């Protein structure tokens, strides 16, 4: 068809500029040593921060639930797809977050676009951190509200924009930024929001399981209440090792979202067995201080080693440790050279990150050993 004839040229341009996205084929359970494209690799790519994606206890909980409840939910939550396992998971997640209630979504993307769209109208304003995840940016645009972005982690710039905002005001930020690994200054942001009668929404996808008391996330680490952060988003496919997402808040807000979040209302519920597996995972997460301590030690070891090599690390205290390369082709060449030596590290390039900031995004898991981190450092040194 003539109107789509430019697709090949667009793809060719992406390939020329070193920006073409490609998949790898996983042929084993997710772990730090997966089989990919038929070969065993040492992986520093997964968001499985606590190493739970392949945990036998969680797999057993899911298997038992499949035997009892089958595979599919069969309907949306508001028809007859809302299972007892979903209900219990929501109660346990709410308690975990120190909130009155929670609502489980099928994916983090659906949670973010659904919540923002439900809370705002075209008469309102949503202001987001410039480096927010794409799902948050899309949620803001799809809401139809007046949309702007403040300078990254800059509460003063946020205050200036809130001074000009109209209608209901929603401020949205990642807790831990997925491509930089740094943390949002939630105490400062919450203070600015209080003084401007704005709500603060935090997507803590990369904080849950890793940060805070019992892994309850960055909001917990800052000790912030529902009054400080009325809306908390979490995903279950990262440190929890399962699938899905949730929003937590006071009962009134969750009741409202159940009525108006379109991405919750108009989709089939996730399988009850996934909810059962996540409940098992949640119990493990809350009792994984040893894993979190090991992960912290690995982060410190990696950072010291990378700095000793003279490479540029971004300011991150989390398992996301990006090595700034700059030029996209160079980042891809390093990633490919590492893969040829049996190590998987993803090159992140524009438009996912700003021009000139292509990077190797190293992510650590509690499943990694110190020896495996040494292997990565030694291999990087051999490539410099």
pLDDT of 113 strictly over 90? yes
The reported pTM is 0.93
CATH 3.90.1150.10 fits 21-50+289-383, yes or no: yes
pLDDT of 11 strictly over 90? no
Q: How confident is the model at residue 2 (pLDDT cuts 50, 70, 90)?
A: low
Dihedral, 218, 221, 227, 231 alpha carbons, nearest 10: 20
pLDDT of 40 strictly over 90? yes
Average pLDDT over residues 171-175: 98
Write the DSSP string, 171-237: EEEESB-TTT-PBP-HHHHHHHHHHTT-EEEEE-TTTTTTSSGGG--HHHHHT--TTT-SEEEEESS
Q: Considering only residues 32 and 4, tell me which one the structure prediction assigns the higher pLDDT.
A: 32
Binding positions for pyridoxal 5'-phosphate: 108-109, 178, 206, 235
Domain spans, the chain:
21-50+289-383, 56-286
In this prediction, residue 37 carries a pLDDT of: 85
In this prediction, residue 1 carries a pLDDT of: 59
- Encode pLDDT of 287-330 as tens digits: 999 999 999 999 999 999 999 999 999 999 999 999 999 999 99
pLDDT of 259 strictly over 80? yes
CATH of 56-286, one of 2.60.40.420, 3.40.640.10, 3.20.20.70, 3.50.50.60: 3.40.640.10
Q: Which of 378, 315, 339, 334 is nearest to 183 (CA)?
A: 315
pLDDT of 173 strictly over 90? yes
**CA atoms in the 13 A half-sphere facing the CB of 284:** 23
Using CA of residue 113, residue 118, residue 119, residue 122, what is the dihedral sign? positive
Binding positions: 21, 108-109, 133, 178, 206, 235, 352
Binding positions for substrate: 21, 133, 352
In whole angstroms, what is the distance from residue 88 CA to residue 72 CA? 18
Contact (CB, 8 A) for 286 and 304: no
In this prediction, residue 374 carries a pLDDT of: 98
- Encode pLDDT of 140-162 as tens digits: 999 999 999 999 999 999 999 99
Between 5-14, 130-139, 337-346, the lowest mean confidence (pLDDT) is in: 5-14
Between 7-16, 119-128, 304-313, the lowest mean confidence (pLDDT) is in: 7-16
**Catalytic (active-site) positions:** 178, 206, 238
Residue 351: is the preceding peptide bond cis (ω within 30°)? yes
DSSP structural state of residue 54: T
Contact (CB, 8 A) for 145 and 101: no
Q: Within its chain, how far is the Cα of 300 from the centroid?
A: 22
């Amino acid at each position: 068809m003539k109107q789509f004839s430019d697709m090949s040229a667009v793809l060719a341009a992406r390939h020329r500029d070193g920006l073409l996205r490609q998949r790898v084929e996983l042929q084993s359970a997710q772990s730090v040593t997966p089989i990919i494209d038929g070969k065993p690799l040492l992986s520093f790519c997964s968001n499985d921060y606590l190493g739970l994606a392949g945990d036998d206890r969680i797999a057993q909980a899911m298997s038992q639930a499949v035997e009892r409840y089958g595979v599919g939910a069969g309907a949306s939550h508001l028809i007859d797809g809302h299972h007892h396992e979903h209900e219990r998971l929501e109660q346990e997640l709410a308690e975990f977050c120190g909130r009155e209630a929670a609502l489980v979504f099928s994916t983090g993307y659906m949670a973010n676009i659904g919540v923002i769209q439900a809370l705002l109208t075209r008469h309102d304003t949503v202001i987001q951190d410039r480096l927010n995840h794409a799902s948050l940016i899309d949620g803001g645009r799809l809401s139809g509200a007046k949309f702007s972005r403040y300078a990254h982690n800059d509460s003063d710039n946020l205050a200036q924009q809130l001074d000009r905002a109209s209608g209901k005001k929603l401020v949205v930020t990642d807790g831990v930024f997925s491509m930089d690994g740094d943390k949002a200054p939630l105490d400062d942001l919450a203070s600015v929001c209080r003084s401007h009668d704005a709500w603060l929404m935090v997507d803590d996808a990369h904080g849950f399981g890793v940060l805070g008391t019992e892994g309850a996330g960055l909001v917990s680490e800052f000790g912030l209440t529902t009054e400080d952060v009325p809306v908390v988003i979490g995903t279950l496919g990262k440190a929890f090792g399962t699938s899905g997402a949730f929003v937590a808040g006071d009962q009134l807000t969750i009741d409202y979202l159940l009525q108006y979040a379109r991405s919750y209302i108009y989709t089939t519920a996730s399988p009850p067995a996934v909810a059962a597996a996540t409940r098992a995972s949640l119990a493990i997460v809350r009792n994984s201080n040893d894993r979190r301590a090991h992960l912290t030690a690995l982060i410190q070891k990696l950072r010291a080693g990378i700095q000793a090599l003279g490479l540029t690390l971004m300011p991150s205290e989390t398992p996301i440790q990006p090595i700034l390369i700059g030029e996209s082709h160079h980042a891809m060449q390093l990633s490919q050279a590492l893969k040829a030596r049996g190590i998987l590290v993803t090159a992140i390039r524009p438009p996912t990150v700003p021009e000139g900031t292509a990077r190797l995004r190293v992510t650590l898991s509690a499943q990694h050993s110190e020896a495996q981190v040494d292997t990565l450092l030694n291999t990087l040194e051999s490539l410099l």
